[in-house]
Amino acid sequence: MERISVIALSVGFFFAWAVAQDATFTVSLDPAKPAAGEQFVVSFTVSGSEMPDTRSFKGPDVARFVVMSGPNVSQNMQFINGRMSASITYTYYLYAREPGRYSIGSASIDVKGKTYKTDPLQVEIGSGKSRSQQQEEQPSSSVELGDNLFLRAIPSKLRVKQGEQLTVTYKLYTRVNISDYGLSKVPTYEGFWAEDFEMPRNPDVTSESYEGNQYRVVTLKRTALFASQSGSLKLAPLQVRCAVQIQSRRRSNDPFDIFNDPFFGRFQTAEHEVASNPLTIAVDRLPDGAPEGFAGAVGKYSMTVSLDKRETRAGEPLTLKITVAGAGNVKLLVMPKPVFPTDFEVYEPKISDEITRDGGVIRGRKTAEYLLIPRNAAQRSIEPFAFAYYDLERNSYVVHRSPRFEIAVTPGKELASGGAAFAAKEDVRLLGEDIRYLKLEPGVLVRHDRSLFQDFWFVAGLLLPPFLLVGALIYRRRSESISGNVTYWRSQKAGKEASKRLKNARKLLSGKNSVEYHAEISRALLGYLQDKLGMSTSALSIEFAVAQLKERGVEPSLIQPLEECIQRAEFARFAPGGDTQEARRDLLDAATTAIGNLEEALNKR
């Protein structure tokens, strides 16, 4: 008898069964008589050889209990005398707050169009220790996530002036194992202008002490905020969804099943959503008495103004360049507007900015370039103009003034000394084009009595568009056919996607997070099989993937290394602590070689 035990990778993984026989659907309780506050397990198991409709599973009403996790799905497959049987188990981890007699209703599931139901289950809850007492005695059996997993929004300050930079850092604190996480709701910053700092794709995990406890900490997001109004402004929380691995202490009757031994524990993955603490920021108004040229800039700035030349001819352009640089909300800076002579043609300025976010401070420069065209010959000047800002270090307004620019405009080539003003901007662009030179030679002469259809290029020009149209239609249909074939594209890109994940794993090789490293290896291997074989997530299993590879003619010698790498990665992921740096590197090299050999073999077919 050959027995293969499959560890569930995620909810919804199932497999195909071949030989038909009647299904059974049963319910079990462990322990038989739980106490109040004690976790117990209710399992619903469907067995047989027909594949059930997993979407049809309807669990019982467990509203009277506290649901720690569930329904969690696990599978088991057996081969006996060449015949296969299998089972799927839906597990709930529950506890009751008060002793008493409880009833758990029926669960149902469909198998080949037939509905199976379990009998109602009576649960006798006895008196026992409180939940907090049990938490102290067995912290690993049922973790209270409120104290072991939370999200903090940490502001750089709680009182700022209007327009002053405020930095909010969002950190995830955990003392439990997290296999994955992602932002589920990004906060809105009403009354603020927000600038996000760039975060690494794989943030570092650090250790930090908070309120007397040691936590693993990941910085998820850092945002610079600039208040656009005064008053008491509230920041909405950030929400993060985490896949938490909860360890249970369920004891197995199988003496060879070491993974269910209390020493190793059993991990169940459950989704848990955490939200950051709300923040209230006090924003003070800027003091009265703002000087001329102030348009709301707060921080520390400098201004430079330059004119490309002081002497020019009428009709020739000048460029005035204004640059404001410093620390603050550079993007929203209002650039100063000079006053130009009335006979200067002035174009809309070209505005550009460069922003840096180094050191947790928003810095940069903003530039305005004016194109000026003097119309008349005369001595002209650009009067000084001001740029003002509120300096946070000095707690006062600061004004920068430009120099006075004297410009000598001499007559242009096309103008008399007195000069006359042009009518519009288009005149400048037409200068030098109002005189057409005489042609001294006739050039090439063409007979007009010749038929156009005797000209090769004319005939080719008539026939080419229909051919191009037909070719475009054929190309479009082929592109639509290929793009609509999602399985084809996934298969073509499977190797590249696996290579990216293995590169990420190589970056994690030198780190201390063994679980994340082996999880990345596992995602690379399983993701490759899923994409290459065109399998859905719910249909993926190692045995089914191996069978598909053999059907495609892949040699067993190429399949076995891949299967061994998956098993090594999963074992190290769910039972961390026994691996070494050399073992990790060996696993990475073996996974890279296995995928490369398999990719080469599949592409030849």
**Residues 428 and 422 sit within 8 Å (Cβ to Cβ):** yes
Q: Mark whether 303 and 213 lie in a shared domain.
A: no
Q: Mark whether 157 and 267 lie in a shared domain.
A: yes
Asked which of 405, 428, 451 is the last residue of a domain, the reply is 428
Q: What are phi and psi of 29, to 5 degrees?
A: -130, 135
Asked which of 258, 283, 308 is the last residue of a domain, the reply is 283
Any bridge partners for residue 72, and if so which? Answer: 91
**Does residue 262 have a pLDDT over 80?**
no
Asked which of 114, 137, 160 is the last residue of a domain, the reply is 137
Asked, for residue 456, whether it belongs to a domain, the answer is: no
Asked, for residue 11, whether it belongs to a domain, the answer is: yes
Q: Mark whether 77 and 113 lie in a shared domain.
A: yes
> Could you give the number of structural domains in the chain?
4
Any bridge partners for residue 67, and if so which? Answer: 94
Q: What is the CATH number of the domain that holds 189?
A: 2.60.40
pLDDT at 259: 46
**Does residue 135 have a pLDDT over 90?**
no
**Residues 390 and 295 sit within 8 Å (Cβ to Cβ):** no
Q: Mark whether 180 and 60 lie in a shared domain.
A: no
Q: What is the pLDDT confidence band of residue 80, given thresholds at 50, 70 and 90? A: low
Q: Mark whether 8 and 126 lie in a shared domain.
A: yes
Q: Mark whether 374 and 278 lie in a shared domain.
A: no
Smallest Cα–Cα separation from 548: which of 3, 12, 16?
16
pLDDT at 366: 94
Q: Mark whether 401 and 319 lie in a shared domain.
A: yes
What's the domain range around 532?
486-603
Q: Mark whether 126 and 173 lie in a shared domain.
A: no
pLDDT at 143: 42
Taking residue 496's Cβ as centre, other Cβ atoms within 10 Å add up to: 10
Between 562 and 327, name the one with better pLDDT: 327
**Does residue 556 have a pLDDT over 60?**
yes
Please state which of the ranges 7-11, 61-65, 155-159 shows the lowest mean pLDDT.
7-11
CA distances from 211 to 132, 172, 568 (A): 19, 15, 38
Instruction: Kindly report whether the peptide bond that precedes residue 237 is cis, defined as omega within 30 degrees of 0.
Output: no
Asked, for residue 7, whether it belongs to a domain, the answer is: yes
Q: Mark whether 494 and 407 lie in a shared domain.
A: no
d(CA 562, CA 576): 20
Q: Mark whether 6 and 125 lie in a shared domain.
A: yes
Element (H, E) at 254: none
Q: What is the CATH number of the domain that holds 577?
A: 1.20.120.330
Burial of 366 (0-12, 13-18, 19+ CB in 10 A): buried
**Residues 385 and 339 sit within 8 Å (Cβ to Cβ):** yes
Per-residue pLDDT tens over the stretch 10-42 = 333 333 333 345 678 898 888 888 888 777 888
pLDDT at 424: 44
| Radius of gyration for the chain, computed over Cα atoms and rounded to the nearest angstrom | 37
Asked, for residue 473, whether it belongs to a domain, the answer is: no
Please state which of the ranges 8-12, 127-131, 566-570 shows the lowest mean pLDDT.
8-12
Asked, for residue 457, whether it belongs to a domain, the answer is: no
**Does residue 487 have a pLDDT over 90?**
no
pLDDT at 385: 94
Between 577 and 33, name the one with better pLDDT: 33
**Which residue intervals of 117-177 are DSSP H helices?**
131-137, 145-148
- Quote the tokens at residue 525: 């291997």
Beta strands per DSSP E along 175-276: 177-185, 192-196, 205-210, 213-227, 231-235, 239-248, 266-275
If you write DSSP's letter for every residue of 489-550 in order, what string do you get? HHHHHHHHHHHHHHHHHHHHTTSS-HHHHHHHHHHHHHHHHHHHTT--TTT--HHHHHHHHH
Per-residue pLDDT tens over the stretch 450-463 = 666 667 777 788 88
pLDDT at 540: 65
d(CA 304, CA 326): 12
Q: What is the pLDDT confidence band of residue 171, given thresholds at 50, 70 and 90? A: very high
Q: Mark whether 183 and 133 lie in a shared domain.
A: no
Asked, for residue 439, whether it belongs to a domain, the answer is: no
Between 429 and 338, name the one with better pLDDT: 338
b/e sequence 242-268, b meaning 16+ C-beta within 10 Å: bebbbbbebeeeeeeeeebeeeebbbb
b/e sequence 206-219, b meaning 16+ C-beta within 10 Å: eeeeeeeeebbbbb
Asked, for residue 517, whether it belongs to a domain, the answer is: yes
Average pLDDT along the chain: 78
d(CA 410, CA 374): 10
b/e sequence 62-77, b meaning 16+ C-beta within 10 Å: beebeebbbbbbbbbb
Between 577 and 196, name the one with better pLDDT: 196
d(CA 318, CA 300): 30
d(CA 382, CA 109): 84
Q: Mark whether 236 and 308 lie in a shared domain.
A: no
Asked, for residue 479, whether it belongs to a domain, the answer is: no
Residue type, 291: P
Q: What are phi and psi of 100, to 5 degrees?
A: 150, -175
Smallest Cα–Cα separation from 37: which of 143, 109, 129, 111?
129
